Amino acid sequence: MGIFDPVKGFGVTFGMMFKKVATEEYPEIGAPAAPRYHGRHQLNRHPDGLEKCVGCELCAWACPADAIFVEGGDNTEEERYSPGERYGADYQINYLRCIGCGLCVEACPTRSLTMINFYELADDNRQDLIWTKEDLLAPLLPGMEQPPHPMRLGDNEQDYYVGGPALARGRGVPEQETVETDTEEAVR
Amino acid sequence: MTVAPEFSDVDVPEGYVKLTVDGEEVVAPKGELLIRTAERLGTVIPRFCDHPLLDPAGACRQCLVEVEMNGRAMPKPQASCTMTVADGMVVKTQVTSEVADKAQQGVMELLLINHPLDCPICDKGGECPLQNQAMAHGRTDSRFVDKKRTFPKPLPISSQVLLDRERCVLCQRCTRFSDQIAGDPFIELLERGSHQQIGTAETADVLDAASHTSSGQPFQSYFSGNTIQICPVGALTSSQYRFRSRPFDLVSTPSVCEHCSSGCAERTDFRRGKVMRKLAGEDPDVNEEWICDKGRFAFRYAAAEQRIRRPLVRSAETGELEEVSWTEALRAAADGLVKARDGKGAGVLPGGRVTLEDAYSYGKFARMALRTHDVDHRARAHSDEELDFLASRVVSDGGPAGGGVTFADLEAAPVALCVAFEPEEESPAVFLRLRKGARAGDVKVVHIGQWASPAVDKTFGELLACPPGGEADAVEGIAEHAPDLDEALRADGAVVLVGERAAEVPGLPTALHHLAERTGARLAWIPRRAGERGAVEAGTLPTLLPGGRPVADADARAEVERHWGLEAGTLPAEPGRDVTGMLNAIVTRDLGGLLVGGVDLDDLPDPALARKAFDAAEFVVSLELLPSTVTPYADVVLPIAPVDEKGGTFVNWEGRRRPFTVTLDGTGALTDCRVLDTLGVEMDTDLFTQTPDAALGDLDRLGAPKGTGAAKGTSGALSAPKGTLGALNAPKVPLGAPTAPPTPGSGQALLATWRQLVDDGSLQIDEPALAGTARRVVARMSRATADGLGDHVTVSTGRGSVTLPVEITDMPDGVVWLPGNAPDAKLRATLGAGHGAVVDIAGGDR
């Protein structure tokens, strides 16, 4: 061990002081995930606010961890939550079980279920980690209204699936505003 | 060089042919369809329209195969579901033939052209033959790029069945079922070409109108649920099960229907502790693959909000029922029953919906804990004559193994005489068998009743009309007035089916007994409730001990005493009182307490007497699922398990045991036999019926009466001379004699009535969709009787009145028919009268 070794050690320390800091101040400042990080799920909406989920349970079927529970319901003319006949009456994801694999997102036939990059899924009790439909539904963007309400963008669900975003523009949503709830802007 | 198949090696028995399927030589019975022959070899040919219990149709063309006859190939692929086997035929399925495979793929592509592919929202998704076979035998891509044909959907063709015409592949299973099996052809193929669709007369009109418009004549059939089950796509769905769950959510348990006495096999599907649906199970001996809508759709009573889940005891201070612990409730019940027993005595009314095990426990409880024969499960009209009839003709008939009438016998009988029995309303599985036999031309069905009900038409039957109460005379008069029927009844295999209504007709059981003795026709008693036959076997009657042992027989009593570990002479030698006897005894203060199972006071012959008696009773213990008419009078209410939450055995009308296991496990609900066992222990009596298995084991160890086993085993048909039976089992000839029905005066009529399948029964609560398929509630009478009454008739007795619309029907004059327990016409409750009573009729206003 040489006589200058202790000083050399401090040299490394001092040297680091002038380099870029890699440490992230979490949770005080926060740490955004990569833009395409798969965090928690979100149930998206059509541009008029109706839910995209049809309660088909394909996500629950695909889930390897049995984390999803869905129960379908019957839309009526008086009480409509989604275009078409069927909507998801009960939707629960158990984040104690979810392994974030994203198979549910792949299974979703209406692109209702997507993942956003929110990842703070920790809690001190089990009950609060079962997220229900209210927690998972995307926020209402401009031009959307809280269901139940009648179909605003067409006469049947075909109109929604074929030309939903374009029809929403017709209803006065400005060009630069998004009508998709599953983009990153929507998360912000 | 290929070697020619060697045909000479295999022997072909008479009635069989030899053919080659996929290069494999096979011997098949003549007349077998190719699709079944291939199936026996393990090759599943895709199909939609083919169903083993329906006539072949060749409608969907999915089952195409290549066929070669006499060395010459047929020019085009053939439908294997309509072609029967022939000698020397060479068949190539999709396994070996590219032509067949390509043809099947082409058909699948065609079927899918207008299919909406909305599997994610379709109830059939996950258990859909179209889905599965498209995956197995279809192309991966569709070449169809144009706009699909659409229809408004869903279209309710009844309150229970929803039609989605876009999904339909026009296989016609539903129309063929309705036409052939059920006989209710309300749906048909309509239109032509790409507009061809399934529908009713009225759905055709709403082709372009909005959905959810249904009125007029709906698809009104008691069997419509079967069309949902056999639909190979999601075109017919159930409004009750709509969007409730997916096949992979469901846990399925085989079960037995708890409604009528046919004991149909069912499959119960549940999710997270809740029954979601029931499907028909497969049992060729009993229900084949069909069940009625009541069995399929009426099950939510067990999950009703008002269900009693905790024991209740009437508080001394407030006089109200209050929830208490099991220990407290059992203590209170035991104390009260001991006091009643040691005072004037206590009786037991188990009701007709008990399992064999529970019935045995009620009977044993009455005899051991209450030391009485006052036990009677007949919560309906009853008579002493019926009691003798049950003891002599029913309990001893040996069941299917001992030569009793079976479902298969119904199908093969030369003549089936239905007396005081409405097969479609009271036991739909029996109706389907009768219709099947009659449709094949084997069975001649004769009904003795009041009017030609739909069941008479649909069994191609003949009606011998008689006034209500005159059935006994009609049966006695067969030899004189219908010699051809009398002759037919002497033929081998002839059967006489008698319903529970026989108890209301004085002399009818005797007349039937004489008829059977005279002609040799076999008798079958077909009660309406699932537990009645089992309860007779288990001895919950005032004159019968378990196994059909007569109470009056000292040896029989001694045998039961030994088995139950009682001291000799403990069982009273005198028979007990029947239901009415018990109720009268309470009113006259000769009986103190009652232990009541699933009994509705409004089912009893005299609801007013019943209410008076229950009011006067010192102590009433009620074992119930739901609050009932007994609950207001009960001092202790003990909750028991519905069939979904317990195991047990129903004995169907044949005498066949129909065991079932627990569907919803771990709900904590207790069976009747368990509750009675614990209650017995509280009263210092061990019943050994803690579980259904223990109770059944105990009953089986007691077995058949000694000395009659051999006779029962060999006697076969009921018509065997009764002298060959041991003295223990010697039947008493029923005592009653036919009496002429009372003659109605002016402004009066004789009341004819029976209960309809879908009505206001307590097991049909919370089922609005099922209730929507009930028959229209009307009063029926002949034109002469209805003369001057107007559109509505008010039928009244001293107790009350019922007003219903009149429907003119071809029936005897001076007779009015009313449904027994319809929502607007609860006859027993309002009129206090039953079949054969004299009632006042007058024009009514609505």
Phi, psi of B686 (to 5 degrees): -95, 115
Q: Do B121 and A74 touch (CB under 8 A)?
A: no
Tell me: is residue A108 an annotated ligand-binding position.
yes
Chain A residues inside the 8 Å CB shell of B245: 57, 71-72
Q: Residue B155's closest chain A neighbor by CA?
A: A85
What is the set of domains in chain B, with CATH numbers? 5-112 (3.10.20.740), 145-249 (3.30.70.20), 312-380+534-551+577-702 (3.40.50.740), 385-527 (3.40.228.10), 748-843 (2.40.40.20)
Instruction: Report the distance separating Cα B298 and Cα B530, nearest Å.
Output: 14
Distance from CA of A56 to the nearest CA of B (A): 5
Q: Establish how many alpha carbons lie within 13 A of residue B201's alpha carbon, considering only the half-sphere containing its beta carbon.
A: 7
Q: What stretches of B644-722 show up as alpha helix (H) in DSSP?
A: 672-682, 692-702, 709-715
Q: Residue A108's closest chain B neighbor by CA?
A: B120
Q: List the one residue out of B264, B255, B256 whose CA is nearest residue B222.
A: B264
- What count of residues does chain B have? 846
Q: How high is the pLDDT of residue B730?
A: 40
Chain B residues inside the 8 Å CB shell of A73: 243
Would you tell me the crossing angle of helices B672-682 and B692-702 to the nearest 10 degrees? 80
Q: Do B120 and A58 touch (CB under 8 A)?
A: yes
Binning pLDDT at 50, 70 and 90, where does residue A180 land? low
Who wins on pLDDT, B189 or B672? B672
Chain A residues inside the 8 Å CB shell of B248: 57, 61
The 10s digit of each residue's pLDDT in B202-218 is: 665 544 433 333 444 56
Q: A113, A61 in Cβ contact below 8 A?
A: no
> Can you read off the two tokens belonging to residue B817?
């028919």
Q: Residue A57's closest chain B neighbor by CA?
A: B246
Q: Across the interface, which of A54, A61, A74 has its CB nearest the CB of B242?
A: A74
Q: Do B245 and A71 touch (CB under 8 A)?
A: yes
Who wins on pLDDT, B177 or A167? B177
Which residue of A56, A70, A111, A151 is the best one to mutate when testing the B interface, meaning the one whose CB has the most B CBs within 10 A? A56
Who wins on pLDDT, A152 or B226? B226
The 10s digit of each residue's pLDDT in B697-751 is: 999 999 888 755 433 333 333 333 333 333 334 445 555 555 666 788 888 999 9
Q: Residue A85's closest chain B neighbor by CA?
A: B121
Q: How high is the pLDDT of residue A2?
A: 84
Distance from CA of B433 to the nearest CA of A (A): 37
Question: What are B622's strand-pairing partners?
Answer: B596, B637
Q: How high is the pLDDT of residue B7?
A: 52
Tell me: is residue A127 an annotated ligand-binding position.
no
Checking if the pLDDT of B231 tops 80, the result is yes
Q: Do B120 and A109 touch (CB under 8 A)?
A: yes
Q: Do B121 and A85 touch (CB under 8 A)?
A: yes
CB atoms within 10 A of CB B86: 15
Which residue of B121, B123, B163 is the best one to mutate when testing the A interface, meaning the one whose CB has the most A CBs within 10 A? B121
- What count of residues does chain A have? 188
Q: How high is the pLDDT of residue B153?
A: 85
Q: Residue B123's closest chain A neighbor by CA?
A: A56
Q: Across the interface, which of A58, A73, A77 has its CB nearest the CB of B243?
A: A73
Q: Residue A74's closest chain B neighbor by CA?
A: B243
Complex ipTM more than 0.90, yes or no: no
Binning pLDDT at 50, 70 and 90, where does residue A159 land? confident
The 10s digit of each residue's pLDDT in B644-659 is: 999 999 999 999 999 9
For residue B820, what are the CA distances in angstroms to B428, B528, B760, B779?
17, 13, 9, 11
Q: Do A56 and B121 touch (CB under 8 A)?
A: yes
Instruction: Report the distance separating Cα B712 and Cα B717, nearest Å.
Output: 10
Q: B159, B772 in Cβ contact below 8 A?
A: yes
Instruction: Report the distance separating Cα B653 and Cα B394, nearest Å.
Output: 9
The 10s digit of each residue's pLDDT in B276-313 is: 999 999 999 999 999 999 999 999 999 999 999 999 99
Chain A residues inside the 8 Å CB shell of B163: none
Chain A residues inside the 8 Å CB shell of B249: 57, 60
Q: Residue B121's closest chain A neighbor by CA?
A: A56
Tell me: is residue A98 an annotated ligand-binding position.
yes
Q: List the one residue out of A120, A133, A52 whose CA is nearest residue A91.
A: A133
- Per-residue H/E/C for B103-115: HHHHHHHHHHHCC
3-class secondary structure, B361: helix
Q: Residue A156's closest chain B neighbor by CA?
A: B152
CB atoms within 10 A of CB B74: 13
Q: B46, B62 in Cβ contact below 8 A?
A: yes
> Can you read off the two tokens belonging to residue B63?
């089952």
The 10s digit of each residue's pLDDT in B606-646 is: 999 999 999 999 999 999 999 999 999 999 999 999 999 99
Q: Do A54 and B120 touch (CB under 8 A)?
A: yes
Q: Do A56 and B245 touch (CB under 8 A)?
A: no
Angle at B627 between CA B624 and CA B630, to 5 degrees: 75
Q: Do B243 and A110 touch (CB under 8 A)?
A: no
Binning pLDDT at 50, 70 and 90, where does residue A24 land? confident
Which residue of A57, A160, A161, A162 is the best one to mutate when testing the B interface, meaning the one whose CB has the most B CBs within 10 A? A57
Which residue of B128, B243, B276 is the best one to mutate when testing the A interface, meaning the one whose CB has the most A CBs within 10 A? B243
Q: Do B243 and A84 touch (CB under 8 A)?
A: no
Q: How high is the pLDDT of residue B401?
A: 86
Chain B residues inside the 8 Å CB shell of A57: 245-246, 248-249
Q: Is the peptide bond before B154 cis (omega within 30 degrees of 0)?
A: yes
Chain A residues inside the 8 Å CB shell of B244: 71-72
Who wins on pLDDT, B685 or A5? B685
Binning pLDDT at 50, 70 and 90, where does residue B839 land? very high
Q: What's this model's pTM, rounded to 2 decimal places?
A: 0.91
The 10s digit of each residue's pLDDT in B779-831 is: 999 999 998 888 999 999 999 999 999 999 999 999 999 999 998 888 999 99
Distance from CA of B228 to the nearest CA of A (A): 18
For residue B472, what are the CA distances in angstroms to B467, B468, B475, B485, B495?
10, 10, 5, 16, 17
Q: What share of chain B is helix, strand, coil (3-state, %, to 5)?
A: 35, 20, 50
Q: What is the mean pLDDT of chain B?
A: 90
Distance from CA of B236 to the nearest CA of A (A): 15
Q: How high is the pLDDT of residue A178?
A: 65
Give residues with Cβ within 8 angstroms of B615, minimum separation 6: B633
Q: B655, B399 in Cβ contact below 8 A?
A: yes
Q: Do B121 and A84 touch (CB under 8 A)?
A: yes
Chain A residues inside the 8 Å CB shell of B250: none
Binning pLDDT at 50, 70 and 90, where does residue B228 land? very high
The 10s digit of each residue's pLDDT in B474-513 is: 999 999 999 999 999 999 999 999 999 999 999 999 999 9
Q: Name the DSSP letter for residue B747.
A: T
Tell me: is residue A154 an annotated ligand-binding position.
no
Q: How high is the pLDDT of residue B201?
A: 66
Chain B residues inside the 8 Å CB shell of A56: 120-121, 125
Tell me: is residue A18 an annotated ligand-binding position.
no
Q: Do A71 and B244 touch (CB under 8 A)?
A: yes
Q: Is the dihedral of CA B77, B80, B86, B92 positive or negative?
A: positive
The 10s digit of each residue's pLDDT in B352-403 is: 999 999 999 999 999 999 999 999 999 999 999 999 999 989 987 778 888 8
The pLDDT > 70 percentage for chain B reads 92
Q: What is the mean pLDDT of residues B46-54?
A: 95
Q: Do B246 and A55 touch (CB under 8 A)?
A: no
Residue recorded with tokens 């089912």: B603
Q: Residue A73's closest chain B neighbor by CA?
A: B243
Q: B661, B647 in Cβ contact below 8 A?
A: yes
3-class secondary structure, A86: strand
The 10s digit of each residue's pLDDT in B421-449 is: 999 999 999 999 999 999 999 899 999 99
CB atoms within 10 A of CB B555: 15
